[in-house]
């Protein structure tokens, strides 16, 4: 059996490569920092399809590792310790196992559950610093910390490019996580690693492809597609649109592409606006936008769907595929409800209709 390159490079054996591009997609004045990344696949032989995801294996920030090493009793020499904390251990968030270890080491002066609540938002170095100031006799070795922490895992990202348009490259669209919990600044490990700590054109990034056969373009390109992707949810749809435009350039007959995109403000947060505008002119791409914070009341992608119920239903009846990507917690649920409402409005049983769409793989979701 032939081993494909994307099977060769895995979680255990990621491909070591270079970051080619890293720029912000939001305009100055935005409250968000959403980045476009281009990663080199040059000689790897790695191939991917629109709909696939790329895993990026992050590294911890040097300053945070040094802070941690200063708070532990080291089991190995400092360089070895530094290296293992750089790539293998999640040091930005304590596990329940670590809280239990601390409770045991302090003869239950602390309760593990209460610790977890109190230190929600804390990185492990900040947690240990605080506890050691209260309980100077608390000693944790680096081996104990490794054994009682979660591993630093690769993060999945929906691929935002089609290989046909960008041979030898893979593109990502990533929201940099910068938030505050419990008074602590949370800088997401992987989104900040790629955004802030990787130099361009140096072989340092470790990646592997994840096939996602549940999120594919229709086999027949003449089939219309409806894509709902607010925020970073636009990522796989950039790949879909590029792939279908490539087919159009080859003279193939391709059905309607309709994108529902939303974000906070049109002036600052219209991701890939210029590209999308050029595709609207050149390839008849249809784009419906919902900028939630450009007016007093919120307008979301599902509100734009509600303004277009007849047309959406007509396309579904013609065999259109319906795709959703982005926030799972709120958006995907509301969009699902909006879709059901459209079906109901047109006299069909929503549960049965949606089941049929799902069974025929025409309702595909990539939500996180």
Ligand X SMILES: Cc1cc2nc3c(=O)[nH]c(=O)nc-3n(C[C@H](O)[C@H](O)[C@H](O)COP(=O)(O)OP(=O)(O)OC[C@H]3O[C@@H](n4cnc5c(N)ncnc54)[C@H](O)[C@@H]3O)c2cc1C
Residue 362 found at the interface with ligand X (CB under 6 A): no
Residue 216 found at the interface with ligand X (CB under 6 A): no
Residue 229 found at the interface with ligand NAP (CB under 6 A): no
Integer angstrom CA distances of residue 368 from 143, 158, 176:
33, 10, 15
138/107 Cα distance (integer angstroms): 10
Residue 19 found at the interface with ligand X (CB under 6 A): no
Which residues in the 329-348 window bind ligand NAP by CB under 6 A? 330-331, 334
Q: Which of residues 101, 301, 316, 320 is near ligand NAP by CB under 6 A? A: 301
Q: Which of 330, 50, 358, 356 is nearest to 215 (CA)?
A: 50
Binding mask 172-211 for ligand NAP (x = CB under 6 A): ---x-xxx--------------------------------
Nearer to ligand X (CB atom), residue 71 or residue 312 = 71
331/300 Cα distance (integer angstroms): 9
Q: Which of residues 17, 34, 148, 289 is near ligand NAP by CB under 6 A? A: 34
Residue 191 found at the interface with ligand X (CB under 6 A): yes
- Give the burial string for 12-25 (b: 16+ CB within 10 Å, else e): eebbebbbbebeeb
* Nearest-approach distance from CB 16 to ligand X, in angstroms: 19
75/72 Cα distance (integer angstroms): 9
Token reading at 320: 């259109």
Nearer to ligand NAP (CB atom), residue 253 or residue 297 = 297
Tell me which stretch binds ligand X (CB under 6 A): 10-18, 115-123, 280-288, 347-355.
Answer: 115-123
54/171 Cα distance (integer angstroms): 9
Residues ≥6 apart with Cβ < 8 Å to 325 = 158, 215, 227, 228, 229, 233, 234, 235, 236, 237, 365, 366, 367
Nearer to ligand X (CB atom), residue 123 or residue 264 = 123
Q: Which option in ligand NAP, ligand X, none does residue 288 bind, with CB closer than 5 to 8 A by kind?
A: none
Nearer to ligand X (CB atom), residue 41 or residue 54 = 54
* Phi and psi torsions of 174, nearest 5°: -130, 130
For strand 225-228 and strand 257-263, is the pairing parallel, antiparallel, or unpaired? parallel
240/283 Cα distance (integer angstroms): 13
Residue 224 found at the interface with ligand X (CB under 6 A): no
DSSP letter at 151? B
230/331 Cα distance (integer angstroms): 8
Tell me which stretch binds ligand X (CB under 6 A): 75-83, 153-161, 262-270, 345-353.
Answer: 153-161
Token reading at 348: 């069909």
309/300 Cα distance (integer angstroms): 15
Q: Which of residues 5, 20, 186, 299 is near ligand X by CB under 6 A? A: 186
358/224 Cα distance (integer angstroms): 16
For strand 321-326 and strand 225-228, is the pairing parallel, antiparallel, or unpaired? parallel
| One-character DSSP codes across 174-188 | EE--EEEETTEEEE-
Residue 112 found at the interface with ligand X (CB under 6 A): no
Nearer to ligand X (CB atom), residue 86 or residue 248 = 86
Q: Which option in ligand X, ligand NAP, none does residue 53 bind, with CB closer than 5 to 8 A by kind?
A: ligand X
Binding mask 240-269 for ligand NAP (x = CB under 6 A): ----------------------xxx-----
* Nearest-approach distance from CB 332 to ligand X, in angstroms: 12
* Phi and psi torsions of 367, nearest 5°: -120, 150
Q: Which of residues 181, 200, 310, 352 is near ligand X by CB under 6 A? A: 181
Residue 17 found at the interface with ligand NAP (CB under 6 A): no
Residues near ligand X (CB under 6 A) are: 53, 58, 92-93, 120-123, 155-158, 173-175, 177, 179, 181, 186, 188-191, 232, 235, 366, 368
Q: Which residues bind ligand NAP (CB under 6 A)?
A: 32, 34, 175, 177-179, 230-233, 262-264, 292-293, 298, 300-302, 326-327, 330-331, 334
């Amino acid at each position: 059996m032939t081993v494909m390159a994307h099977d060769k490079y895995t979680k255990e054996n990621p491909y070591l490569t270079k970051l080619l591009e890293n720029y912000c997609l939001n305009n100055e004045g935005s409250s968000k920092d959403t980045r476009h990344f281009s990663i080199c696949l040059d000689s790897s032989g790695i191939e991917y399809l629109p709909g696939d995801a790329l895993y990026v294996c992050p590294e911890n920030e040097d300053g945070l590792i040094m802070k941690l090493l200063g708070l532990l009793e080291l089991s190995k020499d400092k360089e070895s310790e530094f290296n293992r904390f750089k790539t293998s251990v999640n040091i930005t968030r304590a596990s329940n196992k670590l809280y239990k270890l601390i409770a045991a080491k302090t003869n239950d002066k602390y309760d593990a559950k209460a610790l977890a609540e109190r230190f929600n938002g804390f990185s492990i170095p900040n947690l240990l610093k605080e506890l050691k100031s209260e309980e100077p006799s608390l000693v944790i070795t680096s081996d104990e910390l490794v054994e009682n922490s979660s591993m630093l895992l690769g993060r999945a990202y929906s691929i935002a490019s089609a290989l046909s348009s960008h041979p030898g490259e893979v593109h990502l669209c990533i929201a940099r996580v910068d938030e505050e919990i419990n008074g602590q600044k949370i800088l997401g490990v992987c989104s900040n690693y790629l955004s802030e700590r990787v130099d361009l054109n140096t072989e340092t990034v470790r990646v592997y492809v994840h096939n996602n056969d549940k999120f594919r373009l229709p086999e027949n390109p003449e089939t219309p597609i409806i894509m709902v992707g607010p925020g970073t949810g636009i990522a796989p749809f950039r790949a879909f649109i590029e792939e279908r435009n490539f087919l159009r350039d080859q003279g193939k007959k391709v059905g309607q592409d309709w994108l529902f995109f939303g974000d906070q403000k049109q002036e600052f947060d219209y991701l890939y606006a210029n590209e999308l505008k050029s595709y609207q002119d050149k390839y008849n791409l249809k784009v419906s936008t919902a900028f939630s914070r450009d007016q007093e009341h919120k307008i979301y992608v599902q509100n734009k769907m509600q303004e277009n119920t007849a047309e959406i239903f007509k396309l579904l009846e013609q065999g259109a595929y319906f795709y959703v990507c982005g926030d799972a917690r709120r958006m995907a649920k509301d969009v699902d409800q909006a879709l059901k409402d459209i079906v109901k409005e047109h006299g069909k049983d929503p549960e049965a209709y949606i089941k049929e769409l799902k069974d025929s793989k025409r309702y595909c979701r990539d939500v996180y």
